[in-house]
């Protein structure tokens, strides 16, 4: 962020440095104003405002990069939608988009982030009482509804990137439909907001339990009429009809974008290793094609970091005097100050190559791209309700994703897209991606809906109903975690506490249990470390070294204690060094320490950040912040009590049988238990490649399961 301390009334002569900065600053402002004016959306501002004024629900479809996300909230602000201190809320499926767009808009408005413009995402809130344009994730708005069921501070809610159809977006749409209809009637008459009074009950119990933090609606006069809520649904692809039908024939408007032709190239044969193929293509473009930046779509942080490294290694072999390459990654767990780097132009003499997850598909628009490399894969959630197994798998993109990706090359001029698969494969792709709600475990969503007072989950007005089997399986799971009572209501206090924590229900339950097992300190570290992609990394050419490095943290009891050891070692390191050196030096030393230990410093930083925040939640909730000290047996028993749904026993041939699902799985080679193969384990993650692997594994005693999870195992066996 550019720091902007206007000093009103300052008339004195500026020193040279200041003068330069000021000139630079005003040049940048001018450039931004120009960019804004040239966006396709700029010419339809007046018409858009009229449509919003006329329609309570409006669907806006516009090509990616036309300016929807950054401009429309500013238009609405200008048109007076924030009168009386009301807020315009814009939800994004991805946190990176919420963060980077908010920063951009703050800059466009010439304000400090957190003042008029701010963002709020899980574990990171920059908003203040003066925030009027608030970017947030869709999941976060759902959480806000727990404390303020009428979302009363918002005059307009924009559900952006609705075509992504994340599970949170889908649930939010149903919820907003109810909120909108409730807000157009006097509260006392209202029966339509989920289940009317039950909301009040859920809200009251939250208020009672958490010291009156719930805001708003309880204090309101029940006869007061809420100001109506305007809803805007925005989407990049042309599926306005689904949304329009769902909202009873709502009006939709289309914004013309600008798109230059993009030449598409396919490979002759399928590629065996798409990372290798990406690398080769990057260098072919770099050495043979004209100027323009390259955007590569990869599936996750691990892939991005490994390609980043491979590029940097190979750069040293380029002929003397060739143009240089600047590699910039972008993915969700990247610290937010680094996320903004992708938008900055490459230094002169450099070509920029952006390694992105599918966040760059539609959520963020990066200027300057002329070449797109699309290996054709994406990481997606997949769920099998029969086995109650959710996993992240790498799957082929849909046709519409492939088109979106190639479109990124033609925003500013003609471009080229290299699809790393044969044309015949393209024809086989699905037309569009199945909504996430059809392919994920629903326990988190159900827990939240229950907390919002929606008791009849099967009857909830979903834009697309999840399968009955998936709903029932998730209800069962919540029941076995103790979150629901026999008549399927949220249990008190466990269910309410679980709904309150911004974590997966299984992790929330683990924290609550750890409070009783006197090992909450250890479990907080565990949950934080499990919430980020990989802590340890092992580059292909340094596997042996990486294995040796991990040994100094590794525990014969498994990966969970190994993660705790690594976390605590980083604590020790930082404590010792901060006594010796200043902040910038520590940062550098920390990165070096991580590198030596084959730890991803980005992941570890992210985990430390999450730890700080969930520890705050635990404290606020009055959980018992105790440590089990050296008694790791106690901690492992708590692991068994928490993750009993993911227990597995060894089979004669050395594979494992997961007890809940019956799946045959193997311990992932990255686990410290890969060779040891204990009799009984619990795990936190199932990865499906050619075989099914489990990651983050710890040794437990089989008998603990019936002792600590009798509600599940005593009945089963
Ligand atoms: O939402 P939509 O895809 O229609 O476009 P947008 O995200 O509002 O982006 C409009 C313009 O702002 C694009 O040209 C982006 O490159 C630019 N932008 C930027 O330069 N820096 C950001 N952090 C975000 C957007
Ligand atoms: Mg957008």
Instruction: Give the N- to C-terminal CA distance of the chain in Å, as an integer.
Output: 59
Closest among 357, 353, 330 to 341, alpha carbons compared: 330
Query: Which ligand 1 atom is nearest residue 103's CA?
Result: 23
The ligand whose atoms approach the alpha carbon of 70 most closely is 1
CA of 617 relative to ligand 2 center, distance in Å: 32
**pLDDT tens digit sequence for 125-178:** 999 999 999 999 999 999 999 889 999 999 999 999 999 999 999 999 999 999
Residue pair 633/708 in contact by the 8 Å Cβ criterion? no
Residues in Cβ contact with 32 at an 8 Å cutoff, skipping those fewer than 6 apart: 107, 108
Q: How confident is the model at residue 101, as a pLDDT?
A: 96
pLDDT at 390: 77
Most confident listed range (7-11, 113-117, 410-414, 536-540): 113-117
pLDDT computed for residue 715 by the predictor: 58
Separation of 62 CA from ligand 2 center, angstroms? 9
Q: How far is the CA of 42 from the centre of ligand 2 (A)?
A: 15
Is the pLDDT assigned to residue 302 strictly greater than 50?
yes
> Closest ligand 1 atom to the C-alpha of 343?
21
Q: pLDDT grade, residue 198 (50/70/90)?
A: very low
Please give the pLDDT value at position 238: 67
Residue 230 confidence (pLDDT) above 80: yes
Between these two residues, 215 and 614, which has the higher pLDDT value? 614
According to DSSP, the β-strands at 680-688 and 692-699 are antiparallel
Average pLDDT for 431-457:
92
Average the pLDDT over 86-91 and give the result.
98
What number does the ligand 1 atom closest to the CA of 35 have?
Answer: 14
Rama region for 215: left / alpha / beta (φ>0; ψ in -120 to 50; rest): beta
Residue in 33, 236, 365 to alter for ligand 1 test, most ligand atoms within 8 A of Cβ: 365
Looking at per-residue pLDDT, the higher value among 222 and 229 belongs to: 229
Task: Tell me the ligand closest to 94's alpha carbon.
Answer: 2
pLDDT tens by residue, 516-556? 999 999 999 999 999 987 899 877 677 788 888 889 999 99
pLDDT of residue 270: 93
Question: Whose atoms come closest to the Cα of 101: which ligand?
Answer: 1
Instruction: From 62, 63, 65, 260, give the residue whose CB has the most ligand 1 atoms within 8 Å, as the site to mutate.
Output: 65
Q: In what order do the strands lie in the sheet with 57-62?
A: 124-125, 117-121, 133-137, 87-92, 154-159, 230-235, 57-62, 251-255
CB of 65 sitting under 6 A from ligand 1:
yes
Ligand 1 near 235 CB (within 6 A): no
- Report the nearest atom of ligand 1 relative to the CA of 340: 23
Three-class secondary structure assignment of 118-167: EEEECCEECCCCCCCEEEEEHHHHHHHHHHCCCCCCEEEEEECCHHHCCH
Mutate to test the pocket of ligand 1, among 61, 94, 104, 410 (most ligand atoms within 8 A of CB): 104
User: pLDDT by residue (tens digit) across 482-508?
Assistant: 999 998 899 999 999 999 898 999 999
Token reading at 535: 């802590």
pTM (2 d.p.): 0.85
Which of 18-32, 231-245, 407-421: highest mean pLDDT?
A: 407-421
Average pLDDT over every residue of 366-390: 88
- Indicate the length of the chain as a whole number: 717
Q: Whose CA is nearest to atom 13 of ligand 1?
A: 65
Q: Tell whether the model's pLDDT for residue 717 goes beyond 70.
A: no
C-beta of 92 in contact with ligand 1 (< 6 A): no
* pLDDT computed for residue 193 by the predictor: 56
Work out the mean pLDDT of the chain and round it to a whole number.
Answer: 88
- Residue 7's pLDDT band, with cuts at 50, 70 and 90, is very low
Whether the CB of 64 sits within 6 Å of ligand 1: yes
State how far the Cα of 242 lies from the Cα of 690, in Å rounded to an integer.
36
* pLDDT tens for each residue of 44-58: 999 999 999 999 999
Q: Residue range 286-299: average pLDDT?
A: 96
What's the rounded mean pLDDT across residues 185-196? 50
Alpha helices in 531-664 (DSSP H): 543-551, 559-580, 583-596, 601-620, 632-642
- In the chain, what percentage of residues exceed pLDDT 90? 66
343 lines ligand 1 (CB under 6 A): yes
Query: Which of helix, strand or coil describes residue 219?
Result: coil
Residue by residue, DSSP assigns 434-492 as PPGGGSS--HHHHHHHHHTT---STTS--SSPPPHHHHHHHHHHHHHTT-B-TTSPBPT
Q: Are 441 and 284 in contact (CB under 8 A)?
A: no
Asked whether 466 lines ligand 1 (CB < 6 A), one says: no
Range name among 230-239, 434-443, 678-687 with the lowest pLDDT average? 230-239
Closest atom, ligand 1, to C-alpha of 362 = 3
Q: Measured from the CB, is residue 558 less than 6 Å from ligand 1?
A: no
Query: Residue 493: is the preceding peptide bond cis (ω within 30°)?
Result: yes
Q: Per-residue pLDDT tens for 56-72? A: 999 999 988 899 999 99
Is residue 11 predicted with pLDDT exceeding 70? no
Cβ(491)–Cβ(484) below 8 Å: yes
For residue 253, is pLDDT > 60? yes
Pairing of β 293-297 and β 350-356:
parallel
Determine the distance separating the centroid of ligand 2 and the alpha carbon of 235, expressed in angstroms.
8
Q: How much of the chain, in percent, has pLDDT values that exceed 70?
A: 91
How many angstroms is it from 48 CA to the middle of ligand 1? Answer: 18
CA distances from 524 to 332, 338, 355, 615 (A): 21, 26, 32, 7
Predicted local confidence at residue 409, as pLDDT: 95
Q: Ligand 1 mean position to 70 CA, how many Å?
A: 6
Instruction: Return the ligand number nearest the Cα of 255.
Output: 1
| Strands 293-297 and 262-266, bridge-based pairing | unpaired
Judged by its nearest atom, the ligand closest to the C-alpha of residue 42 is: 1
What's the average model confidence in pLDDT over 412-432?
95
Ligand at minimal distance from the CA of 64 is 1
Distance from the alpha carbon of residue 104 to the mean position of ligand 1, in angstroms: 8
Q: Is the CB of 365 under 6 A from ligand 1?
A: yes
Q: Residues 177, 179, 182, 188: what is their CA dihedral angle, to the nearest 10 degrees? A: 150
Rounded CA-CA distance 661/385 in Å is 10
**Does residue 70's CB lie within 6 angstroms of at least one atom of ligand 1?**
yes
- Tell whether ligand 1 has an atom less than 6 A from the beta carbon of residue 66: yes
Residue 172 Cα to ligand 2 midpoint, Å, equals 18
Q: Whose CA is nearest to atom 17 of ligand 1?
A: 365
**Nearest residue by C-alpha to atom 12 in ligand 1:** 67
From the alpha carbon of 257, which atom of ligand 1 is closest?
4
Q: Check residue 186 and give its pLDDT.
A: 59
For the segment 406-426, the average pLDDT, to the nearest whole number, is: 95
191 has pLDDT over 50: no
Q: How confident is the model at residue 195 (pLDDT cuts 50, 70, 90)?
A: very low
Strand ranges (E), 26-125:
57-62, 87-92, 117-121, 124-125
Provide the pLDDT for residue 4.
37
| Range of weakest confidence among 32-36, 399-403, 412-416, 530-534 | 530-534
350 is written with which tokens?
A: 């450099």
Is pLDDT larger for residue 584 or for residue 674? Answer: 674
3-state DSSP assignment of residue 245: helix
404 CB near ligand 1 (under 6 Å): no
36 lines ligand 1 (CB under 6 A): no
């Amino acid at each position: 962020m550019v720091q902007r301390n206007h000093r009103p009334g300052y008339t004195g002569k500026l020193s040279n440095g200041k003068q330069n900065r000021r000139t630079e600053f005003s040049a940048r402002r001018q450039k931004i104003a120009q960019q804004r004016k040239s966006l396709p959306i700029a010419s339809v501002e007046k018409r858009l405002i009229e449509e919003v004024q006329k329609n309570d629900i409006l669907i806006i479809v516009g090509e990616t990069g036309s300016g929807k996300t950054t401009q429309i909230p500013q238009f609405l602000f200008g048109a007076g939608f924030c009168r009386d201190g009301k807020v315009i809320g814009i939800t994004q499926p991805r946190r990176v988009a919420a963060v980077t767009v908010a920063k951009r808009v703050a800059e466009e408005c010439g304000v400090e982030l957190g003042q008029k413009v701010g963002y709020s995402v899980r574990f990171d809130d920059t908003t203040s009482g003066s925030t009027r344009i608030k970017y947030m994730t869709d999941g976060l708005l759902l959480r806000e509804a727990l404390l303020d069921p009428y979302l009363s501070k918002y005059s307009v809610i924009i559900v952006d990137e609705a075509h992504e159809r994340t599970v949170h977006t889908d649930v939010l749409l149903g919820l907003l439909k109810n909120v909108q209809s409730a807000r157009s009637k006097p509260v006392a008459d209202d029966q339509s907001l989920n289940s009317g009074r039950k909301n009040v009950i859920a809200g009251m119990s939250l208020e009672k339990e958490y010291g009156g933090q719930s805001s708003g609606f309880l204090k309101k006069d029940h006869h007061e009429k809420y100001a109506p809520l305007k809803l805007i649904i925005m989407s990049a692809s042309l599926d306005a009809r689904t949304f329009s039908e769902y909202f009873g024939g709502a009006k939709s408007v289309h914004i013309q974008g600008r798109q230059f032709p993009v030449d598409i190239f396919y490979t002759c044969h399928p590629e065996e290793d798409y990372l290798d193929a990406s690398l080769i293509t990057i260098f072919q473009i770099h050495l043979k094609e004209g100027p323009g930046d390259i955007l590569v779509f990869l599936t996750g942080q691990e892939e991005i970091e490994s390609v980043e490294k491979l590029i940097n290694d190979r750069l040293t072999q380029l002929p003397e005097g060739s143009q240089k390459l600047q590699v910039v990654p972008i993915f969700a767990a990247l610290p937010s100050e680094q996320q903004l780097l992708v938008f900055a132009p490459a230094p002169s003499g450099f070509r920029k190559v952006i390694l992105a997850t599918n966040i760059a598909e539609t959520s963020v628009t990066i200027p300057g791209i002329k070449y797109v490399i699309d290996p054709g894969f994406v990481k997606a959630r997949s769920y099998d309700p029969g086995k109650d197994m959710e996993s992240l798998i790498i799957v082929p993109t849909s046709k519409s994703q492939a088109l979106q990706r190639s479109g990124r090359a033609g925003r500013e001029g003609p471009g080229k897209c290299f699809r790393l698969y044969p044309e015949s494969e393209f024809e086989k792709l699905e037309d569009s991606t199945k909504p996430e709600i059809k392919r994920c475990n629903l326990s988190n969503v159900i827990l939240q809906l229950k907390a919002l007072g929606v008791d009849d989950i099967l009857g909830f007005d979903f834009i697309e109903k999840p399968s009955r089997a998936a709903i029932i399986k998730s209800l069962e799971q919540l029941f076995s975690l103790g979150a629901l009572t026999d008549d399927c209501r949220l249990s008190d206090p466990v269910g309410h506490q679980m709904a309150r924590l911004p974590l997966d229900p299984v992790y929330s339950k683990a924290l609550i249990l750890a409070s009783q097992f006197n090992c909450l300190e250890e479990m907080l570290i565990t949950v934080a470390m499990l919430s980020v992609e990989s802590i340890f990394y092992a580059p292909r050419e340094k596997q042996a070294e990486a294995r040796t490095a991990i040994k100094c943290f590794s525990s014969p009891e498994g990966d969970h204690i190994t993660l705790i050891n690594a976390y605590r070692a980083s604590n020790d390191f930082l404590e010792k060094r901060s006594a010796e050196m200043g902040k910038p030096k520590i940062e550098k030393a920390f990165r070096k320490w991580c590198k030596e230990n084959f730890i991803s410093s980005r992941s570890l930083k992210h985990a430390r950040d999450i730890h700080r925040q969930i520890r705050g939640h635990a404290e606020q909730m009055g959980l018992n912040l105790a440590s089990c000290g050296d008694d790791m047996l106690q901690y492992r028993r708590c692991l068994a009590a928490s993750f009993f749904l993911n227990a597995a026993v060894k089979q004669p041939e050395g594979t494992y049988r997961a007890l809940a699902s019956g799946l045959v799985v193997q311990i992932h080679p990255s686990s410290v238990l890969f060779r040891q193969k204990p009799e009984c384990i619990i795990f936190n993650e199932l990865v499906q490649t050619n075989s099914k692997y489990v990651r983050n594994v710890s040794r437990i005693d089989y008998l603990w399961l019936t002792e600590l999870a009798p509600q599940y195992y005593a009945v089963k066996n």
